[in-house]
Amino acid sequence: MGGHTASAFDGLPEQWFTQSKSGPGGKGPREVGPDFVSSTAEYPNDQQAATLWYHDHALGITRLNVYAGLAGFYLLKDDERLELEDRGVLPSGSYDLGMAIQDRAFTADGQLYYPAYKNDPLNGADQTVADVVPQAFFDTYGEDAPSIVPEFFGDTILVNGMVWPNLNVTAGSYEFRILNGSDSRFYVLTASNPAVAIYLVGTDGGLLPHAVTISDGDGEQETGEFVLVAPGDRVELVFDFSRLSAGDTVKLLNSGPLFEPFKGVAADGQLLGDAEAATADDPVGNIMQFTVTSGVTFHAELFDGADAVLLAANFSRLAADENGDGVADAASNIRNLGLFEGADQFGRVTPMLGKAEPGTITTSDEDATADFGPLSYNAEATERPLLGSTEQWNIFNFTADTHPVHLHLAQYQVVEKREIFFLDEDENGVPDDTTGDGNISYGVGSSPDYAAADIWIGDLMALRPEETGWQDTVHVDPNTMMSLVATFDLPGEYVWHCHILSHEDNEMMRPLIVDNLV
Ligand SMILES: [Cu+2]
């Protein structure tokens, strides 16, 4: 994931294949998906050094296969990265570690637990599947039918497949490449001892121009000293344990939502939307432990005096917007896209992607001809950039929850983030046509006049440091518009989707087709 890969080898939702006919090395798969090309893939590795990862992507069962363990790191290095390691700027070898954080749940006999049947409990909530899947579903398919649930939250935290592990470290610097490989859980990460300094050096697609100080290690836990990691996100962090001594222990803590969807976090670390935050007293408020031992230390030279050392010398600002009109100078086409939350025929929550252009409103999620409204995965492809073009996508979140939006093929940058205003008084997951003219219209400003326009685009919001690099996943908070800019440089079919795996599996995914007209 995050790889610059030809469509045929991208591992798309309908390129799935099953077990070989005669076991490993046998004569091809028993069953294949409609878009299957080959079970042998080619990865050109022609992008910059980055913390990529791979996971199963089969249509409708991605969440289950990732949960069962079909996921791993794919770490790319390049000459620039190796040179930084040689100069002692960045850690390498045993001081450079990948950490995949995933929440899971287990049965009493140690099997993986996943809620699917009517009376199955939902971890951490005083609820069962019956509380989130209406009876109409069971009336149709039977009381014993399994159903998707809106989100999954485990009650146990694993790092690289180990439950609440310990890592012995020496009193120096480490690079931790953190991946949130969870289904629905967002993590707000801090160190339990604020004498540990934390620096952000890279995002999904590679290194930042310079290290950004997340936690200054002065011994005081200040508000704002945290890292936010959404499902699908990677961050490259340098931890500095040099103020600690052998025998000290430090925990990596999580103050993200306990057992509910994430709705945003304020700059001071407070969760938005009344979400209840995990604390160090909660099992899911703990990720892992570091124990400082004596031994050889490495000290990353991220700073030269007060100046941050250049990490990505050729970092290009694809998102540059010199005239400040909110459109990246490089973009030749703008799309307005929406995150919607409707319900299926049984009343189950069904988040969807769709179009958010001004104009006519969709009456069916299968009808891709309208300008505005949610669309199912199977509706005709609407995001069709031209090969080689650079586009800006303004993504409007009309739902009550945050969604991490992931594009295949392209690493992109964030141009800007703005607050938006709209009404949804009928709670159908689609903004109301407040002007009553049968069309959706947009106004600009933070004092919405709903008689004049239906949706209002308000003030700029500050980007978090994790949003300032090359990204293939960014989270779009409720009542927010996030503008991305990407270059589409390989032809063919891809997808874009929410990286909450339960959403991706439940229609929050759309085709992305790069058209080669030559
Ligand atoms: Cu989502």
Q: Give the distance (Å) from ligand 1 centre to CA of residue 505.
A: 10
Task: Look at residue 76 and tell me whether its pLDDT is greater than 90.
Answer: yes
Tell whether 273 and 400 lie within a shared domain: no
Q: How far apart are CA 51 and CA 501, in angstroms?
A: 20
User: Buried b / exposed e across 269-286, counting CB within 10 Å, b at 16+?
Assistant: bebebebebbeeebebbb
Q: How far apart are CA 394 and CA 355, in angstroms?
A: 10
517 falls in which pLDDT band (50, 70, 90)? confident
- Mean pLDDT computed over 180-209: 98
User: 190 lies in which domain range?
Assistant: 78-107+154-308
Tell whether 303 and 359 lie within a shared domain: no
Tell whether 405 and 476 lie within a shared domain: yes
Q: Give the distance (Å) from ligand 1 centre to CA of residue 339.
A: 8
Task: Look at residue 21 and tell me whether its pLDDT is greater than 90.
Answer: no
Q: Give the distance (Å) from ligand 1 centre to CA of residue 485.
A: 20
Q: How many CA atoms lie within 13 A of 72 on its CB side?
A: 2
Task: Look at residue 191 and tell me whether its pLDDT is greater than 70.
Answer: yes
Q: Give the distance (Å) from ligand 1 centre to CA of residue 79.
A: 36
Residue with tokens 């927010």: 480
Tell whether 407 and 281 lie within a shared domain: no
Q: Give the distance (Å) from ligand 1 centre to CA of residue 500.
A: 5
- Mean pLDDT computed over 142-154: 97
Angle at CA of residue 122, ends 118 and 128, nearest 5°: 35
CATH number at residue 494: 2.60.40.420
Task: Look at residue 26 and tell me whether its pLDDT is greater than 80.
Answer: no
Task: Look at residue 518 and tell me whether its pLDDT is greater than 90.
Answer: no
Q: How far apart are CA 122 and CA 103, in angstroms?
A: 13
Tell whether 82 and 177 lie within a shared domain: yes
Q: How far apart are CA 432 and CA 97, in angstroms?
A: 48
Residues forming beta bridges with residue 485, ordered by sequence position: 392, 413
Q: Give the distance (Å) from ligand 1 centre to CA of residue 71.
A: 20
Q: Give the distance (Å) from ligand 1 centre to CA of residue 175.
A: 29
Tell whether 258 and 362 lie within a shared domain: no
Residues forming beta bridges with residue 51, ordered by sequence position: 75
Tell whether 267 and 160 lie within a shared domain: yes
pLDDT digits (tens, 9 = 90+) for 416-454: 999 999 999 988 889 999 999 999 999 999 999 999 999
Length of the chain: 518
CA nearest 170: which of 246, 75, 283, 276?
246
Tell whether 445 and 343 lie within a shared domain: yes
Q: How far apart are CA 482 and CA 460, in angstroms?
A: 10
Strand (E) or helix (H) holding 417: strand 412-421
Query: For the chain, what is the mean pLDDT?
Result: 96
- Mean pLDDT computed over 140-150: 97
pLDDT at 314: 85
Task: Look at residue 138 and tell me whether its pLDDT is greater than 70.
Answer: yes
Tell whether 302 and 337 lie within a shared domain: no
469 is a domain residue = yes
Q: Give the distance (Å) from ligand 1 centre to CA of residue 498.
A: 5
Asked if 15 contacts 56 with a C-beta cutoff of 8 angstroms, the reply is: no
User: Poorest-confidence range of 23-37, 237-251, 410-424?
Assistant: 23-37
Q: Give the distance (Å) from ligand 1 centre to CA of residue 502.
A: 8
Q: How far apart are CA 419 and CA 461, in angstroms?
A: 7
- Mean pLDDT computed over 76-80: 96
pLDDT digits (tens, 9 = 90+) for 197-218: 999 999 999 999 999 999 999 9
Tell whether 283 and 216 lie within a shared domain: yes
- Mean pLDDT computed over 220-234: 97
pLDDT digits (tens, 9 = 90+) for 445-480: 999 999 999 999 999 999 999 999 999 999 999 999
Assigned token pair, 33:
């998906």
Task: Look at residue 30 and tell me whether its pLDDT is greater than 90.
Answer: no
Question: Quick one: 467 exposed, middle or buried, by C-beta within 10 A (0-12, 13-18, 19+)?
Answer: middle
pLDDT digits (tens, 9 = 90+) for 251-272: 999 999 999 999 999 999 999 9
Residues forming beta bridges with residue 307, ordered by sequence position: 304
Q: How far apart are CA 135 and CA 130, in angstroms?
A: 7
Global ipTM: 0.92
**Considering the chain, what percentage of its residues have pLDDT values greater than 90?**
93
Q: Give the distance (Å) from ligand 1 centre to CA of residue 302.
A: 35
39 is a domain residue = no
Torsion angle defined by CA atoms of residues 210, 47, 472 and 150, in that order, rounded to the nearest 10 degrees? -130
pLDDT at 433: 97
63 is a domain residue = no
Tell whether 86 and 174 lie within a shared domain: yes
Tell whether 190 and 298 lie within a shared domain: yes
pLDDT at 386: 98
- Mean pLDDT computed over 311-317: 92
Q: Higher pLDDT residue, 314 or 372?
A: 372
Assigned token pair, 295:
């031994």
pLDDT at 23: 65
- Mean pLDDT computed over 302-314: 93
39 falls in which pLDDT band (50, 70, 90)? confident
pLDDT at 427: 86
pLDDT at 499: 98
Per the structure, the count of domains in the chain is: 2
Q: Give the distance (Å) from ligand 1 centre to CA of residue 397.
A: 10
- In three state form, how does the secondary structure of 173-221 look? EEEEEEEECCCCCCEEEEECCCCCEEEEEEECCEEEEEEEEEECCCCCC
